[in-house]
Structure 1
């Protein structure tokens, strides 16, 4: 009788790389279990710049990574047109040092086979009038935007369609060893409050900056050398630019703006951190002011716009012994057979843009070890929903939504618009036009049929999971007017008790409110209003 807890491969880590490996291996016919201690994409993947790299940022110091980004970016635009925006990017010089770097940049791009094209600064300013009017030199590159959350979920969704099992809120506590063979893991299921075991022929550690944790049960001569750093990013209200704006210099702090839906993301910093700090990263006010100061070099009026939110993520960089900015963006695959242990592989480093390539390399190695001859197909197979690019006009007409809502939808759902459209009929409000969906999140233009669709298809387990899949509660009001609607839907759609729903709501609100102490006046005001609504009106004050 087959063991239901035995798999060809167990993957630990549910970021883009882990989900990408699950997809790749399941498409090759392997049985796969993916374990993630929180929600999918809740770690490094969900705390990045959402940048689809052309490779330009790394051409000077890291040409291998730059070339990989250039190639993989083109692949992602083809297989994920519904969650990518080829808005293009510019590298701009704002002082004489930047101008001098321009020659190095242009030469390095040619050597790394990364597209760049110099253009007249006035031509650039005509396209991006809010940028620094004193810009001295400009290069055009093929940068773009990608939704890191939906990238992960669609990979996991496709993996599941091909037989993989996905278990979130399942923290791996220990490796299971049989002599020097690693045969499985012991993990804690947070939602069921139970410790469980799972077995496999191969175990893959795709936990990024947390990778060293799984080595604790092993006696290693050369343990992992990871140099984790904290990078903080600011989300500014309004789409101030339509292209990615990079400062024309070696990679540094606060030198990139990325347009994302109805806002822009400014980042980032690079602060060394210890392993023990990785689950509790958060920028302070000094770091926020530092980023805003740097951002003014690119968009001088940046402080005139509201800071909506800010977040910090850990990067799993390969240790270099030098400055964090000098650490390589290449990725590495560690095979523990060299240390005397079989059945265990770790993947770390790299960029979001190269996740698919990383997954391919790991999957190739797994198949080689298991004697399976199956080629990778992920470079040519579109992600679910990406069969074709669905224009904004289609969302506007089929779902009866306004322009901004349709604009956001076109970068989330792709060909799933038909399924979402059918769900519109179940949430008609009496005062609405027939077929017009009920709005759940006014700030981020998220509708009830979108919430319903992700509930059924994208592995939602707790209330806070909706936020990462739809952008619900990511807007200016910090979730004031949408969380109670989500709770109402959960009470109708699930068998959760009142206390379970309130517990999940409390956890979600705490995550939204944790930035209050370091946020600016706008954030503090909005969180204060939200607290009045939920702590006093909702009688949750005893839970905080």
Structure 2
């Protein structure tokens, strides 16, 4: 590669140094950070938004047994089986061992159902035949039309807590750091190496130069764009958009899978007090344009209701879409038939010796992906320490505990502090949780957004979807001095806008009434819809900006 520097000429405000810069705050990026730290290597992890902002945080939360892939992707099935066993042992507080059911209903291909146990056996996956009556005893909402059922070792995982604990552990081991809101805009080159990355703070516009010895691209669906910034055009991905729904209630105790080739609405995953239904698959050209549609929501519900009729009448809180980064296959067919493997690019063929890309895969295989990337990086640094993520339990960190469903009311009750006001009544999140998150959670900042706080807690996850607690938490942060001016109202508006993105396709029945109330509060009372109009500011904004207080 020709000696060069980035064409970005605007000077960076500050410069920091690290051994390894990891771009992408999904589970793979967080996993690489911890893997390197266990080898004594310091790293800096950046993301243009926040942890698990892409596919890592936008999925069912399913820790695959591997059974879903036995019919068409045996390698991924075996990888999932092995990683499932490891994560259950090493990250227990992030995993709920729900078990799973695969059920076929009248009209499904009987040959597929009959071949399923043999496919599982070849992949080494435990599979137990149960009668339809036994399946309905385990899950009463199952259809009366079931003709076959099998139990497997599926589980559920909290990706947010998992990522937070990985980042916290890396920080405690080597002082490695995480920087959210850091948008990578350029690299500096020197012959066959990258020397630094230029990042822009997406909130303030401030520039930062990060110098590193090794650079890792763990950008998920955006990995191709990141590689191109480094001058590497060889990372090609397919973008498969999946749309999922979150129900008001937990409808099953097991993960329930349709026993057929993968299709829309064929998995229901319990998670805490809710369930997640999905997913569709649609090829798109731009991963930034993944939004749910009413047609996709209706399709998921109609298909899901065939195996669980209750899904036709249940209340849904929100829908969301994320993008699966798929490795290109030899044909241009249905993305559901694409393998779910991953690829590690060392980019030496592009003339770089200190840049690599890890992409593809899925949440269940993140640890394996991180290990392979960390092996390459460590070898390039001359570090001969073997990876230990397959034997070292993930330690707990109090600042990461607030994402666990039911944890907040339990901790609040045990503390017995009557002055610890509950700010989110749906999920019983007290002000002490907000204090701890703002003070020391991974990615904590001087002025955390409401969205960042919600990612690190259960705030905004209940039936009102933050309509009330968003106001209460923002008010509390003003009282505590974390918010001091107009930006606090902007954080509130942005939080409600993000909530609305997921609610607008499920505004029906009780959720429609909820939205009417939210609009009255946010627009009629607070005037957040007019917040950008500088010449017609609402009285509350004017008082905050002038520092006026009541006598």
TM-score (norm 1): 0.89
Secondary structure of 1:532's counterpart equals helix
**CA RMSD, 1 decimal:** 2.3
Deviations 1:50-72 (A, max 9, x none): 00110000111111111111111
Task: State whether residues 421 and 449 of structure 1, in contact with CA within 8 Å, keep that contact through their aligned partners in structure 2.
Answer: no
Q: Note the residue ranges of structure 1 that are not aligned, 5 or more in a row.
A: 388-394, 396-404, 430-436
* C-alpha distance in 2 between matches for 1:484 and 1:251: 41
Change (3 A) 1:493 1:153: farther
8 A contact 1:423–1:452 mirrored in 2: no
Mapped partners of 1:357, 1:379: distance in 2: 9
Please report how far the alpha carbon of residue 213 of structure 1 lies from its aligned counterpart in structure 2 after TM superposition: 1.0
Q: Say yes or no: does 1:496 pair with 2:505.
A: no
CA–CA distance in 1 between the matches of 2:432 and 2:413?
A: 7
Paired residues of 1:81 and 1:386 also in contact (CA < 8 A): no
SS of the equivalent of 2:292 reads: coil
Structure 1 residue runs of 4 or more that deviate by more than 6 Å after TM superposition: 420-423
3-state DSSP of counterpart to 1:214: helix
Output aligned runs, 1:133-532, within 5 Å. Answer: 133-162=144-173, 163-220=175-232, 223-275=234-286, 278-320=287-329, 321=331, 322-385=333-396, 408-409=405-406, 425=417, 428-429=418-419, 437-458=420-441, 459-460=443-444, 461-521=448-508, 522-532=510-520
Partner SS state of residue 125, structure 1: helix
* Residue 338 of structure 1: how far off its partner (Å): 2.0
Indicate how the Cα distance of structure 1 residues 524 and 543 shifts in structure 2: closer, same or farther if over 3 A, else same: farther
Equivalents in 2 of 1:421, 1:79: separation in Å? 28
The verdict on how the C-alpha distance between 1:539 and 1:299 changes in structure 2, with shifts beyond 3 A counting, is same
In structure 2, stretches of 5+ residues that fail to align are: 1-13, 533-551
Compute the displacement of 1:386 (Å). Answer: 8.0
Relative to structure 1, is the Cα distance of residues 186 and 448 closer, same or farther in structure 2, using a 3 angstrom cutoff?
same
1:129 matched to 2:117: no
SS of the residue 1:464 aligns to: helix
Alpha-carbon distance in 2 for matches of 1:279, 1:133: 41
Stretch of structure 1 that moved more, 265-274 or 89-98:
89-98
CA contact (8 A) 1:424 1:449 kept: no
Q: 1:511 to 1:4 in 2, by over 3 A?
A: closer
Distance 1:74 1:493, change over 3 A: farther
- 1:345-403 CA distances to partner (integer Å, 9 max, x unpaired)? 0000111111111111111111111110112122222223289xxxxxxx9xxxxxxxx
**1:62-104 deviation per Cα after TM superposition (whole angstroms, max 9, x unaligned):** 1111111111111111222112100100000103434321222
Shift in Å, 1:516: 4.9
Aligned residues: 509
Superimposed CA distance per residue, residues 238-288 of structure 1 (whole angstroms, 9 cap, x where no aligned partner):
11111000001122221000001111110001100113xx22321111111
CA contact (8 A) 1:243 1:258 kept: yes
> What residue is the counterpart of 2:526 in the other structure?
538
In structure 1, C-alpha distance between the alignment counterparts of 2:478 and 2:88, rounded to whole Å: 38
